[in-house]
Structure formats: structure tokens, C-alpha cells
Amino acid sequence: MHLLHQRGPLHDLPDTPEAYDAVLADVVEQALRRLTPEGNLEHPDCVDDIGDTSLGITSLLALAWQRGKDPRLPDAVRRSLAFHLRERVYRDDNPGYPNLRVRDCGLPYARYTLAAGAHPIGDWPSTVWALLQAVNVLDTADGLIDDEQRAELLEVARGYWSWLTGATFFNPQEAGNQAIGCVVGGLMLAALLPAPEGAEVRARALELYCAEIRAHRVRDRGALLPPEHGGAYDNNYGPISLSFLAQAHRVSGEAVFAEDGDALARYLDARLTGGGFDNGGPRYSEQHSAFESVLGLRYFGARIGSDLGRYRGDSRWARHAVKADGGVDGHFAWMLVWQIQDDTPWHRTPCAAPARHQLRAGTVSVAFDDHMTPAVIEAAGTYCLPAAVGRQHGFGPVTDGFLLCRPMGEVRVRDARADGLTAKLVTKPVVGRDHVLRSVRSLYVTDGTTLWTTVAVERLTGTPYLLAGLPYAEDDGDRVRRTAHAAVSSAGALRLTHPEAQGPEHFDARAELTQEQAAFALAEDPRGYGNPDKGWAHLVGSSALEAGPIADAPDDLHVFAVRHGVEEPLAVSAAWGEDGLVLTTDAFTAVLGPADAHAEPQLTLRAVSR
């Protein structure tokens, strides 16, 4: 089975002016066929996320007219805009909406679902989206709409902004993408208003960003990130936030948006595998965005000098939102408008500078979590996640059922490159059930094709082994499919085990079940509202690669060695030398030296001559 949402890299989509004109031409033909006598451009199957969709198609038609002057479009734009102003602007409080600060204020807002009282919780983001569609129409419809219609739409946009920032609590879902989107709406609205009023709206938008978003950023993997539905990052909404930051910087020029976008982009670059696979988040574990992410990935990829466009988007939404029949939906249409207006080219080569939470070379990558434990290992087109044993998750030595990967103190990292090899040494102080403090030294070395992982720790009792990953997915052309196999070899005994117990808390890689589905089954809240990362944390056990210790090692150490990417036999030896622990393979020799004057570990790497 294929993963539903992780498909082709977004930078593979043509983004020339001619390609975008072809996209708009298709939207125009669909819209003109769909336009009802009343002026409605909504998809017939649209129920949720509907309040902004007709206006979104209107904005695309306005942009298409601006670029090509199709004589059929002025009438369609005016009729569809009239429909939105007449039928989709609500002023009576939605029954059951819990986030009002002022009752019966009469300000306009957009509904997530049209029926009164039906899922009103979505009205705040729907109003953000409607504000963004409105300012895009106002920005592109010069010569298309008359002064009366323009004035009415501008007044509604003012009202949307006032409702979002005064009549309700700001950002009630704690969703960074929605909140930054609202700020963008304010910044764009400010540019359309008379000078004194526009300055006030701009100042309010910047104040909200700094006080309500930036001040509440969440730290993960060394970066401060806009909180997303209660977590630090979501691989669906995080790149959308990046697009909003790009637009905020484009329209305001404020350095804060560039700085925060750069930080988010570097974080995303570090957690993203070379093949573009990503996993984890507080709202969706595997549901990637697509066209909604292009602006941010392209804009900030160019700024930080890295190939963020390798991100695997959902190609079904490659250009714009669509319904199940493939028909265009106006939801999030402003993102297509903005990416067409922006001419930043894709940066297509990886960043050369080492990153603390990433090891990457060629077709191999390791993304590390906040504790410098691998979160995803990629080699030979296969992706391994942290395995689980006894409710403990990660990569590391296991003794008597206890996983030694959670640090009890500072984690040290040393990067090295030599002779075509790229390496990272991670040193962690850990404490086992025996309360003994041990140093776990994990060395990751890649030649760009395979990955060697060697782990050394003070000698353990019992029958220890290395928990070396959960085989989860593999590349299949432009798709990613589930797997229960990975090409891995070990210098010690190697086995792939599967849970014997049944139930959602035991993840068997052989089952036709995604990580996200399993995680939501364990989450406290319903699918789509809970936190799958927290749900996954309840996992008791999983399929796992387990590697025994090598035979050729000092008596005072247990040393484990595996190689991801090939199944050929692996030979590794470990011995104490004058300068530290010497690890020898058929491809390289590494010396793990004592701490330097700053108490940092030393690493010397040399390729073996052949």
C-alpha cells in the first residue's frame, strides 16, 4: 500500500509563467462551466471549509484576467463577487460558537459550514481565509469591478479584520498557520486603506504577531517555532506557516518575518529526509500540504541556500485545492495567487554547512530529534522510524528491556568530513535502571550511499542488543509505499522482530496500517483533533531491527555496529588506542578521542585505502 499524501517533490512542478497561465486557463474553464445564475463558484460537493471558496475562485479569475484580459471574465468576477457579498457574509452570531468576546456585534465573518450551529469552531480560520481572498480580489481586480462593489468588499474586509482581532479571541485553536495568516491579511488590508487607518491596522498586525505568536513560540531541535495546534511543528501546517511568513515578508518588508522564516526553514531542512519524507506533528503525522507550501519552501529555500523543494507534497493538490472528482476548489486560493506573483527560483542543491540535527550526504540522511536520537533514517530509498520496546521509543542499546537513549545531561555533537565521508558523533550521558551513569557514543558515518552506525557503551549486564529502527516506508517512483523490510547488515547477530501481542499499541510493520492511523487510534481525541505524536507515544512495542554486540571489542565495552543500505556482511572491530577508541571497518577508521579542553568529544575520521 502507498502512503496517501507523501508523493512527488514539490520542486518538480513546472513553475514558469507559461505553466501558471495553463493552470489559470484550466481554472477559468472549470469556473465558467460551474458559475450558477446566482454567481456561485463553489464546488457542488463542498460542505466544510466552504465560507471562502467561491471568493477564492473569484480571486483566481481576477488574476487570470489581469494576466490575459479574457473578455469572458469581467462579468464572471462581478457576478461571483456579488454572490459572496450577498450570500456568504454572516453577521448574526453562529449558535454555539465558543470563542466570542462580544455578542451580537454585527461584524461580518465567514462560516466553516453554512448550516447554523454546525461545527462553528472552524469559523475563525474560515474568516481568516475569507479576509485573504478578499484582499487578493481587491489587489487584482482594478478595472474589473465598479467603485460600489469595491467599496462594499473593502468594508467587509475591514469587518473581517475587526471580528478576528476584537470580537473573538485571537487564534483560538493555537494554530500558528491560521494566526500568521491573519497577520498577513491585516498587512495586506493595511496597504489598501487610507494612510492613517492603514498605519493603525499595520501596527496592530505587527503587534499581534510579536505578542500573540512570536512570544509563544515552542522550542524543538534547537529552534523556536510558531506553535501548531499545541505542538512545535506539523508536517502539514508547518510549511504552510512558512508560506505565510514568506508573504508577510514580501508585503511588509519587516525583518522579523525573514528571521523567523529562516529559522523555521532551517529546522524543516534538518528534519526533512533527503528524499523528502517527513513524519510527525501535533495534528497530522503524514498528511502533507502541496501548493500551500510552495511559496514558503521556494522563498526561504533560496534565502537559506537549501533544496527545501524536495519536500514530498500531495500532488493531488499540486496547483490548487481539489475535490474527489479532481474539480477545482477555491479553498486556500490565495497561495496560488501569491506563488504566481512571486518570481523566486527554486534552490535545488543541499546546504553544505553541517546541521546539528541532521546528517545528510547523497541518498543517505538521518534526521535527529530534540535529544539527538534518530527520528528518521533514510538509506537505499527506505525510511526507518524509531522502534518501540516496553513503551520506550528510539535508537540505542537495550539491556534487560531498558532502552538507553534518553539523555541525563548535556548531549555533545561533533561533525567531521574526510575523503568523501560525512560523519556525526553523538555522546549522551544516560542512566539505566541500575542508576549507573554511562556514556553512550553513537557514530554515524555515510559515503552518500550507505550508513554505518556504531554505538559504544560501558559494558552492560544481561544480553544487550541495539534497537536499530522500525522499517516503515520506501520510495516507489513518485510515491512512498509501506514496507516491513530494510536492507540492513550487522557486525553482530541481526534479527527483525514483530510484536506478538495484538492491539493498536503494538505496531506490526507487516500490517496495512499507517503510522498516522495507529497514532490516532492511541490519541486522546478524535482523528483530526487529537495529537498523533502523543498517541504514538503510548505505543508499547513495534516491529524492530535488533543487532547484537560485535565480538571484536574491548572487555570493558559493548559495541554495536549496523549498516543501513546494503545486506552484505559487515565487519567492524573496536580497540583502545593511544588517542582513544579506534573503530575499524572495511571503509574507514574512526578514533573517538577523549574530551578536549572544552569538554567536547573528539573525532578523527579517515577512509581506508583500497
What pLDDT is attached to residue 547? 98
Whole-angstrom CA distances from 359 to 277, 281, 350, 369, 446 are 15, 21, 12, 12, 9
Cβ neighbour number for residue 601 with a 10 Å cutoff: 18
What pLDDT is attached to residue 187? 98
Q: Is 43 exposed, middle or buried (0-12, 13-18, 19+ CB in 10 A)?
A: buried
C-alpha grid cell, residue 412: 555533545
Q: How far apart are CA 453 and CA 384, in angstroms?
A: 13
Q: How far apart are CA 98 and CA 213, in angstroms?
A: 21
What pLDDT is attached to residue 498? 98
> Letter for the amino acid at 598?
H
Average pLDDT over residues 574-581: 96
Confidence of residue 6 (pLDDT cuts 50, 70, 90): confident
Q: What is the mean pLDDT of the chain?
A: 95
77 has a pLDDT exceeding 70: yes
Letter string b/e over residues 369-405, b meaning 16 or more CB atoms within 10 A of that residue's CB: beebbbbbbbbbbbbbbbbbbeebbbbbbbbeebbbb
Confidence of residue 610 (pLDDT cuts 50, 70, 90): low
The pTM for the full model equals 0.97
475 has a pLDDT exceeding 80: yes
What pLDDT is attached to residue 531? 83
478 has a pLDDT exceeding 90: no
Half-sphere exposure at residue 262, Cβ-oriented, CA atoms within 13 angstroms: 8
Whole-angstrom CA distances from 79 to 51, 72, 144, 591 are 17, 12, 11, 73
Give the phi and the psi of residue 366 in degrees, each rounded to 5. -130, 125
Cβ neighbour number for residue 477 with a 10 Å cutoff: 9
pLDDT in tens, 261-270: 999 999 999 9
H/E stretch holding 516: helix 515-522
pLDDT in tens, 496-534: 999 999 999 999 999 989 999 999 899 888 877 778 888
C-alpha grid cell, residue 408: 541525563
402-403 and 494-497 beta bridge pairing:
unpaired
Average pLDDT over residues 382-403: 97
How wide is the angle at C-alpha 125 spanned by C-alphas 119 and 126, nearest 5°?
A: 70
Confidence of residue 229 (pLDDT cuts 50, 70, 90): confident
C-alpha grid cell, residue 569: 556482511
Quick one: which of 230, 203, 204 has its CA closest to 216? 230
Strand spans (E) along 355-411: 358-361, 364-368, 374-379, 382-385, 387-389, 392-394, 396-399, 402-403
Q: How far apart are CA 369 and CA 480, in angstroms?
A: 22
pLDDT in tens, 528-559: 777 888 899 999 999 999 999 999 999 999 99
Whole-angstrom CA distances from 90 to 87, 108, 459 are 8, 5, 69
Letter string b/e over residues 504-537, b meaning 16 or more CB atoms within 10 A of that residue's CB: bbbbbbebeebbbebbbbbbeeeeeebbbbbbbe
Return the percentage of the chain with pLDDT > 70, whole number. 100
578 has a pLDDT exceeding 80: yes
Is residue 581 within 8 A of residue 591, CB to CB? The reply is yes
Is residue 38 within 8 A of residue 83, CB to CB? The reply is yes
What pLDDT is attached to residue 169? 97
Cβ neighbour number for residue 362 with a 10 Å cutoff: 15
What pLDDT is attached to residue 396? 97
- Cβ contacts of residue 396 below 8 Å, gap of 6+? 373, 403, 404, 405, 430, 440, 442, 455, 466, 467
383 has a pLDDT exceeding 70: yes
At residue 240, the 3 state secondary structure works out as helix
412-418 and 402-403 beta bridge pairing:
unpaired
Quick one: which of 165, 84, 169, 176 has its CA closest to 130? 84
Q: How far apart are CA 88 and CA 108, in angstroms?
A: 9
What pLDDT is attached to residue 48? 94
73 has a pLDDT exceeding 70: yes
List own/partner pairs for 575-579 with CB under 8 A and 24 or more apart. Answer: 579/604
Give the phi and the psi of residue 68 in degrees, each rounded to 5. -130, -10
Cβ neighbour number for residue 111 with a 10 Å cutoff: 23
**What is the 3 state secondary structure string of 475-510?**
EECCEEEECCCCCEEECCCEEEECCCCCCCCEECCC
86 has a pLDDT exceeding 70: yes
Average pLDDT over residues 277-304: 91
Confidence of residue 449 (pLDDT cuts 50, 70, 90): very high
